[in-house]
């Protein structure tokens, strides 16, 4: 897998995942919506750690900076 996520994208995804986690564990969001958002937060963290988003590939999106050779 070739990296297709830049640092800004990764940081934003982790911040969103942290906010979702805090909202879930404080009880602000709960039930099915809370579970779905918590799973989405987990996916955000996972994709941020590996710097690859599978949904970016079919659309040709690449937020990773271009490396000079």
Q: What percent of the chain has pLDDT over 90?
A: 62
Write out the H or E segment, with its range, that includes residue 52: none
Does 40 fall in a domain? Answer: yes
Quote the pTM value.
0.84
| Separation CA 62–CA 53 (nearest Å) | 9
**Domains identified in the chain, total number:** 1
pLDDT band, very low/low/confident/very high, at 4 (cuts 50, 70, 90)? confident
Does 60 fall in a domain? Answer: no
Does 19 fall in a domain? Answer: yes
């Amino acid at each position: 897998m070739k990296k297709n996520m830049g640092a800004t994208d990764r940081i934003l995804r982790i911040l969103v995942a942290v906010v979702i986690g805090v909202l879930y564990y404080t009880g602000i969001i709960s039930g099915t919506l809370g579970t779905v958002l918590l799973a989405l937060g987990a996916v955000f963290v996972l994709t941020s750690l590996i710097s690859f988003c599978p949904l970016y590939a079919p659309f040709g999106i690449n937020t990773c900076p271009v490396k000079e050779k």
